[in-house]
């Protein structure tokens, strides 16, 4: 029996951010509700009171539990017997640090949108605080919630492709393919301001996803990177592409191509892990599938719902039969499910279900920020190999 | 403004059926809740009281609103000021008729799992009752909720492929590929008993889906069929395959292959509509895409979230950008969204948003039963062409 | 050692037909020469002397061995010590019968374009003559030369998918999607005249291919068909589509959809064979691959050049490693290779290499004509089931 | 009228190398013969006399024109009126330099397998000699012969994707995935000896292909690279992988991943060119297709044989209709076709058909060697950016 089943009830969740025009807030909301493991009861959805009220109605939050400020919400909820037990933080990147610290200080479990913070120092602070206070913190590297990504991780761990030798990632999007610098769209505007989106837009936005996917599937961190980071579009002030090589402690080599200005690309992610005995290939456009290509036999098409998949994949699947497609909402919901288990376990003082412990947390978030910092340091040094462990700022 | 927005609140929904081991109940539940257009407040989830209680907890239904019987639930809810306004019927096929009639009689709006009933006569009765009482009734032909299926319908209606000349469908599954006749699995057992699953398992289970998809996309009914229906597995008592030709009133020809015993197939659906100026192709395995192949230019890959899609597709999409995959839960949720709009409109006495009116209802359900009856009559006559309009029983 | 290796030299080939604007002549020429198993030394390439001369130069045929008439070529070559030993017949369908008989009478081995003849009676005559005279006759059902089609046949024969239960074929092309009836293109014109192209354009042109593919892979003939044959384009005098059901002697069921008027389709062929233990799927658009999908395990992607393929597939492959694509020329060349082996064997009085004996010959050609006749008879009888063995005219 | 048509006869070709176990020799042979633009009349197929004789029979070369040595063949043929006019050089890399120089000195046109030589200095010598003597030299970067690669080049040149901003290449094979160092297979053995295969196996074998593809399609050279080159397999003495970034003179950025030890990969090549207005994507596994994805509209699937392709693609296509697959033999044959045109033009003193001038020649070969040298220099300098123009050795 899982800790969540032992708890026997959904957890009470408050939202920080999420009012229109946020798209990611809606994704979090649907994911949090999908398996009825959370009820959304409070929110500080917008600094703008009118927007906050409108969003509260949409989120099903009673007016009296909709607040304009985070501190206010935390205080008000702490005073209630049925106050929130966890928060979802879906605000711009530069606020993650202070809102996460506030929630942790209040003993709330945290679902935090990525990147964890904008700097390594901030990430270290959040990680230390979460550990000290003992709260659960899950970072929404949503792609790691896909069942076939979890299958890939299980296959690598089980040695199905032998020793990992080469890891290849592509993450290409078209959000910055056209000139959006003058767009009135607020969702885009904060991203274009490094004060809000952090030192490198492309690395924070999609680089940390690719970095986490690689580490998650291979089961090891990045040791060092050699990177080129910059802007493909002439005159652009933020980074829209990066090309990097990396090394893992095992000696595995990697290559990663990141681009947010890829005209005509539809949020393309490719992950290929080549081992001594075979390789795995996963593409976001066919995320319900995973190709396992052994050295000594024909390629095999694994797909979500097949009965011979790992527990990790099956556990993360709702349609436990093939050919019934799930999507990104379910992947996010798998992270919410993990958070509910971790939170229930700590409340009951029992160990969480082992399958819930793979969710990306503070340690992974910190690794992501070190990755960003190392890429920028390498780029500044003409692409010189740079160790992630040396990153402190 | 839609009627649902004018109503300004979610509708109260009761479930008929849905306790374990039902899989489809969970799908309905997630779909009903996804957009917060319904709250699930009551249920007659199982005739088995213990199962019903367990399911009620899972569905978030208060114990006092969980009932063992449908009539009991309807009566108890009718007595409450905050009683249910709609029901989701997810019980075995043979019960659809009486539960739908009971709900309609109580003035409740209805989400009804397909096939609508087991016979044409029953379907006619339900259709007449729904019309007489004025309630909204939506049938969960869930595939018609996919945005790219709605796009296909919009493209055909807009003449983008010219006059429809040939329609090709495949629906293949593997549920009956192995011998399941002695399985202890209840979900399979009722299907194997024609008293419950109806006169033709394959036609009721998947044939009505394929029939509806073709009519939905082409915008016209089936006029006549020539069919072979039977069992591929030696000794099987229920139908597991059908192969048919059909004609539409416009003169378009069609071919349909249905099989539930296709070993190794993962719920495969193909729809191809060939017109005088081009054709459309959609496969369930890539349901977020639609190929539009004109006569005089290269094939074009349409995909969910593209800004140039029809309103019908965009309206049925949550991630309004490409490359963020949705799945079958969202397709079902689109039907729930349609029902919420139809129900809100009738409660407010206003016309529903036009895009909600494409949802399959009683008329489509009746057409489906006539399709089943015509196929069986044709098969009995050695495959002779049989008009759907002649079917009355 | 094969008979061809024992012979130790290429065979001398003459062409009947093949001058511009013939496209298929060029395909035959490239295929015949690809493996240096034939040298092309004579021809009756066109009734038009100028065209014939131009083509002779292109085919590398000396002027004195280029003839205006078939009888003349056969007679002239018979008088030479180094005269032709085989002919390739690539003329319009209605001439196949008389040219094949002439070649057979002269003791020449024959590569004959499909369909073998235009009627069952003619086909029987050719088959009887070929058998009586003992010559080798191969019919260019080119798709059966693809290595992965041969692999499919080997897998079915080896029982890898168990007992065959359902066979599904689609063959769609766009050659008749637009109105071509008034086209000045001679290659199209003869096809539009039943006196030349035979009683059913769609059945002769592509139906016989689909029929042969199914029989070839399943290793059994068609027993009976129920068919609809006609014209999708209003006013068209020749058949451009057919939809049929069929049965094989083993009890396997089949469905076939044929259409030459499918706007925007690029010569699409699908073959799916469903057995009791799994299924095979092959698509022409990815002809170098074959999906083997077992009942009890994940789908497997077989591809040309893999070392674990059958001898039948490997024998038909030039690049004996994966990822080096071959195409339709090689498939045709495989049939020429088979003919060279059969021809060499008969000249040496030894048995041919067993792998060469799968090539479609007179028996398969006759079966194809019976298939056409049965489809037409069934259509005339409203789709009634019609036995192929009953066809005599 | 092309120069080749004006010449009015095939050219006489001699082979240098090509006896078993060479695979590439057979590919050249089929390609040279495919369009009857060459006749193969002489050869120095092997230093081993017995092997040479056996191969001569297979190549259709008369015994008296089969020689053990290259110089001997060139001399003997020069003495004949009907002596060879061109040679195909398909020997190990280290011999390309001296055989090419010998052929050039004799005034023969040359088809030379890639890489052109093993060093920049050798490449410069060959390039200078070819230019001085005025002979035609084509390098078999066979992939550039694919029609859809030529289409990609034409689309970039026509501005269809705007200014090129990012170029991404993957070339992965599995030939070195297992330990082959002790293999008795001679074809592998010479590759594993840098004295024969050159300073970097992976760069010479597949890197020069990827480099040429990128330059060919983008229409510009590489300016600089930052590379990591090495061995993924522990203990391997030759290079089996490389990961690099590159820059083009226009400012376009690039990333390239090369690996010959990718277990389970089937000769995978990906080319993606991202421009300001859209992008192109081509994969070797579907080489008959090309995706054109504009910024402001849906992706478009171009495929070989479509009537709206460029002249460059159509000219390189034999089946001038869609859905009739070609393969790698045809791609090589397109290079032979180009060589025949260049050779005929120089013999007639007329300009060659413009479409034949895109074939890779000495200049491209030299660029390839500079690319290899720059990658090695960069790797030696820890991945520092290295200009190709600085490479001289």
DSSP-assigned beta bridge partners for residue A274: A166, A279
Per residue in D293-320, pLDDT tens?
999 999 999 999 999 999 999 999 999 8
* C328 to chain D, closest Cα gap in Å: 6
Residues contacting residue D285 through CB under 8 Å, at least 6 positions apart = C323, D266, D268
- CB contact under 8 Å between C297 and A303, yes or no, is no
For residue B310, the SS3 value is: coil
Same domain, D172 and D274: yes
In A228-319, which residue ranges form alpha helices assigned H by DSSP? 311-315
Interface probe for C, chosen from D35, D149, D325 (most Cβ of C below 10 Å), is D325
ipTM tops the 0.95 cut: yes
Of B30, B267, B321, nearest to A323 by CB-CB distance is: B267
Residue A362: inside a domain: no
Residue C392: inside a domain: no
Contacts of D384 in chain A (CB under 8 A): 382-383
- CB contact under 8 Å between B302 and D298, yes or no, is yes
Given a cut of 80, is residue D393 above it in pLDDT?
A: no
CATH code of residue C206: 3.30.360.10
DSSP C303-355: ETT-TTS-HHHHHT-SS-STT----HHHHHHHHHHHHHHHHHHHHHTSPPPGG
Given a cut of 80, is residue C188 above it in pLDDT?
A: no
CA–CA gap between residue A288 and residue A322 (Å, rounded): 9
CA–CA gap between residue B344 and residue A72 (Å, rounded): 36
Q: Which residues of chain A have pLDDT under 70?
A: 186-187, 393
Interface B-C: count of C-beta contacts within 8 A:
117
CA–CA gap between residue A80 and residue D236 (Å, rounded): 66
CA–CA gap between residue A23 and residue C333 (Å, rounded): 57
Sheet holding C109-112, edge to edge: C38-44, C11-16, C86-89, C109-112, C137-139
Question: Which pLDDT belongs to residue C282?
Answer: 98
Question: Measured between CB atoms, does C329 come within 8 Å of chain D?
Answer: yes
* B154 to chain C, closest Cα gap in Å: 19
Sign of the CA dihedral with D60 first, then D66, D72, and D75 last: negative
- CB contact under 8 Å between A323 and B268, yes or no, is yes
Question: Measured between CB atoms, does A283 come within 8 Å of chain D?
Answer: no
* A223 to chain B, closest Cα gap in Å: 30
Residue B388: inside a domain: no
Same domain, D116 and D129: yes
CA–CA gap between residue D34 and residue D39 (Å, rounded): 10
Per residue in B285-297, pLDDT tens?
999 999 999 999 9
CA–CA gap between residue C355 and residue C160 (Å, rounded): 19
Question: Measured between CB atoms, does C166 come within 8 Å of chain B?
Answer: yes
Given a cut of 90, is residue B191 above it in pLDDT?
A: no
- CB contact under 8 Å between B263 and C162, yes or no, is yes
Which residue of chain B has the CA closest to D307? B297
Mean pLDDT for D17-46 is 95
Given a cut of 80, is residue C185 above it in pLDDT?
A: no
The 3-class SS string of D95-157 reads HHHHHHHHHHHCCCEEEECCCCCCCHHHHHHHHHHHHHHCCCEEECCHHHHCHHHHHHHHHHH
Same domain, C76 and C151: no
Given a cut of 80, is residue B185 above it in pLDDT?
A: no
- CB contact under 8 Å between B267 and A58, yes or no, is no
Per residue in D316-332, pLDDT tens?
999 988 999 999 999 99
Given a cut of 90, is residue D186 above it in pLDDT?
A: no
Q: Is pTM, for the whole model, over 0.95?
A: yes
D373 and D391 in contact (C-beta within 8 Å)? yes
Given a cut of 80, is residue D68 above it in pLDDT?
A: yes
Which residue of chain D has the CA closest to A273? D262
Interface probe for D, chosen from C325, C330, C333, C334 (most Cβ of D below 10 Å), is C325
- CB contact under 8 Å between C263 and B241, yes or no, is no
Given a cut of 80, is residue D169 above it in pLDDT?
A: yes
Question: Measured between CB atoms, does B303 come within 8 Å of chain D?
Answer: yes
Residue D329: inside a domain: no
A49 and A19 in contact (C-beta within 8 Å)? no
Question: Measured between CB atoms, does B302 come within 8 Å of chain D?
Answer: yes
Mean pLDDT for C238-264 is 97
Of C301, C303, C308, nearest to A301 by CB-CB distance is: C301
Task: Kindly indicate the confidence band of residue B22, based on its pLDDT and cuts at 50, 70 and 90.
Answer: confident
Which residue of chain D has the CA closest to B305? D298
Mean pLDDT for C201-228 is 98
Contacts of D247 in chain A (CB under 8 A): none
Residue A205: inside a domain: yes
CA–CA gap between residue B208 and residue B195 (Å, rounded): 18
Residue D251 has a CB neighbour count (10 Å cut-off) of 12
- CB contact under 8 Å between A301 and C303, yes or no, is no
Same domain, D182 and D274: yes
Question: Measured between CB atoms, does A306 come within 8 Å of chain C?
Answer: yes
Residue A328: inside a domain: no
CA–CA gap between residue A47 and residue A67 (Å, rounded): 9
- CB contact under 8 Å between B327 and A326, yes or no, is yes
Type and span of the H or E element at B172: strand B164-172
**DSSP secondary structure letter of residue C190:** G
Contacts of A387 in chain D (CB under 8 A): none
Same domain, A285 and A158: yes
Task: Kindly indicate the confidence band of residue C183, based on its pLDDT and cuts at 50, 70 and 90.
Answer: confident
**Domain extent for B120:** 3-143+339-354
**% of chain C surpassing 70 pLDDT:** 99
Same domain, C156 and C112: no
- CB contact under 8 Å between D303 and B298, yes or no, is yes
Question: Which pLDDT belongs to residue B182?
Answer: 80
- CB contact under 8 Å between B295 and C166, yes or no, is no
C11 and C85 in contact (C-beta within 8 Å)? yes
Question: Measured between CB atoms, does B277 come within 8 Å of chain C?
Answer: yes
Interface probe for A, chosen from C281, C298, C304, C322 (most Cβ of A below 10 Å), is C298
CA–CA gap between residue A303 and residue A320 (Å, rounded): 11
* D299 to chain B, closest Cα gap in Å: 5
Contacts of A327 in chain B (CB under 8 A): 324-327, 329-330
Same domain, B346 and B251: no
Q: How far is CA B76 from the centre of its chain?
A: 29
CATH code of residue C135: 3.40.50.720
B168 and B254 in contact (C-beta within 8 Å)? yes
Task: Kindly indicate the confidence band of residue C209, based on its pLDDT and cuts at 50, 70 and 90.
Answer: very high
- CB contact under 8 Å between D308 and B297, yes or no, is yes
Contacts of D298 in chain B (CB under 8 A): 300-303, 306, 308
Task: Kindly indicate the confidence band of residue D264, based on its pLDDT and cuts at 50, 70 and 90.
Answer: very high
* D295 to chain A, closest Cα gap in Å: 5
Same domain, A72 and A158: no
Residues contacting residue B39 through CB under 8 Å, at least 6 positions apart = B10, B11, B12, B13, B33
**% of chain B surpassing 90 pLDDT:** 92
Same domain, D156 and D271: yes
> Cα separations (Å) of D77 from A184, A237, D29, D41, D67?
75, 65, 19, 10, 10
- CB contact under 8 Å between B253 and C243, yes or no, is yes
Mean pLDDT for C380-389 is 96
Question: Which pLDDT belongs to residue C22?
Answer: 85
DSSP C28-85: HHHHHHHTTSEEEEEEE--SSHHHHHHHHHHHT--GGGB-SSHHHHHHHHHTSTT--S
Mean pLDDT for C334-341 is 98
**% of chain B surpassing 70 pLDDT:** 99
Which residue of chain A has the CA closest to B58? A36
Interface A-C: count of C-beta contacts within 8 A:
24
Residue A385: inside a domain: no
* B126 to chain D, closest Cα gap in Å: 43
Question: Which pLDDT belongs to residue B136?
Answer: 98
Residues contacting residue A65 through CB under 8 Å, at least 6 positions apart = A14, A41, A42, A43, A56, A73, A76, A77
Please, which contacts does C175-184 make with residues 24 or more away whose CB atoms are closer than 8 Å?
C175/C260, C176/C201, C176/C233, C176/C236, C176/C238, C176/C240, C176/C260, C176/C261, C177/B276, C177/B295, C177/C260, C177/C261, C177/C262, C177/C263, C177/C264, C177/C265, C178/B295, C178/C263, C179/C233, C181/C236, C181/C237
Per residue in B35-77, pLDDT tens?
999 999 999 999 998 899 999 999 999 999 999 899 999 999 9
- CB contact under 8 Å between D298 and B299, yes or no, is no
Same domain, B204 and B303: yes
Residue B306: inside a domain: yes
Question: Measured between CB atoms, does D303 come within 8 Å of chain B?
Answer: yes
* D259 to chain B, closest Cα gap in Å: 29
Contacts of C268 in chain D (CB under 8 A): 323
Interface probe for A, chosen from D168, D179, D255 (most Cβ of A below 10 Å), is D255
Interface probe for C, chosen from A151, A278, A294, A299 (most Cβ of C below 10 Å), is A299
Domains in chain C: how many in total?
Answer: 2
Same domain, D135 and D197: no
Same domain, A371 and A270: yes
Per residue in B330-349, pLDDT tens?
999 999 999 999 999 999 99
Question: Measured between CB atoms, does B299 come within 8 Å of chain D?
Answer: yes
């Amino acid at each position: 029996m899982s800790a969540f089943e032992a708890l026997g009830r959904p957890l009470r969740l408050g939202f920080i951010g999420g009012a229109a025009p946020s798209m990611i807030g809606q994704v979090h909301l649907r994911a949090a509700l999908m398996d009825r493991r959370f009820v959304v009861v409070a929110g500080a959805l917008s600094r703008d009171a009118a927007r906050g009220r409108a969003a509260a109605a949409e989120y099903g939050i009673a007016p009296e539990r909709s607040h304009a400020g985070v501190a206010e919400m935390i205080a008000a909820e702490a005073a209630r017997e049925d106050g929130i037990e966890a928060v979802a933080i879906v605000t711009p990147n530069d606020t993650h640090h202070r809102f996460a610290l506030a929630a942790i200080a209040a003993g709330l479990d945290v679902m935090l949108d990525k990147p964890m913070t904008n700097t390594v120092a901030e990430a270290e602070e959040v990680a230390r605080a979460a550990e000290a206070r003992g709260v659960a913190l899950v970072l929404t590297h949503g792609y790691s919630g896909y069942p076939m990504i979890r299958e890939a991780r299980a296959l690598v761990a089980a040695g199905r492709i032998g020793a990992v030798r080469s890891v290849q990632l592509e993450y290409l999007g078209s959000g910055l393919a056209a000139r959006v610098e003058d767009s009135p769209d607020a969702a885009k505007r904060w991203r274009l301001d490094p004060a809000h989106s952090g030192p490198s837009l492309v690395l924070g936005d999609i680089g940390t996803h690719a970095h986490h996917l690689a580490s998650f599937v291979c089961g090891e961190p990045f040791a060092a990177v050699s990177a080129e980071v910059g802007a493909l579009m002439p005159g652009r002030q933020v980074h829209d592409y990066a090309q990097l090589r990396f090394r893992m402690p095992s000696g595995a080599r990697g290559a990663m191509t990141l681009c947010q200005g890829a005209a005509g690309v539809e949020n393309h992610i490719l992950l290929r892990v080549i081992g001594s005995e075979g390789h795995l290939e996963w593409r976001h456009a066919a995320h319900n599938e995973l190709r396992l290509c052994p050295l000594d036999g024909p390629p095999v098409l694994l797909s979500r719902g097949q009965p011979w998949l790992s527990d990790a994949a099956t556990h993360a699947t709702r349609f436990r039969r093939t050919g019934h497609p799930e999507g990104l909402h379910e992947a996010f919901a798998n992270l919410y499910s993990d958070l509910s288990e971790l939170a229930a376990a700590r409340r009951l003082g029992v160990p969480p279900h082992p399958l819930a412990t793979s969710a990306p947390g503070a340690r992974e978030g910190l690794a992501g920020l070190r990755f960003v910092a190392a890429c920028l340091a390498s780029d500044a040094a003409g692409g010189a190999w740079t160790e992630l462990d040396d990153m402190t700022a």
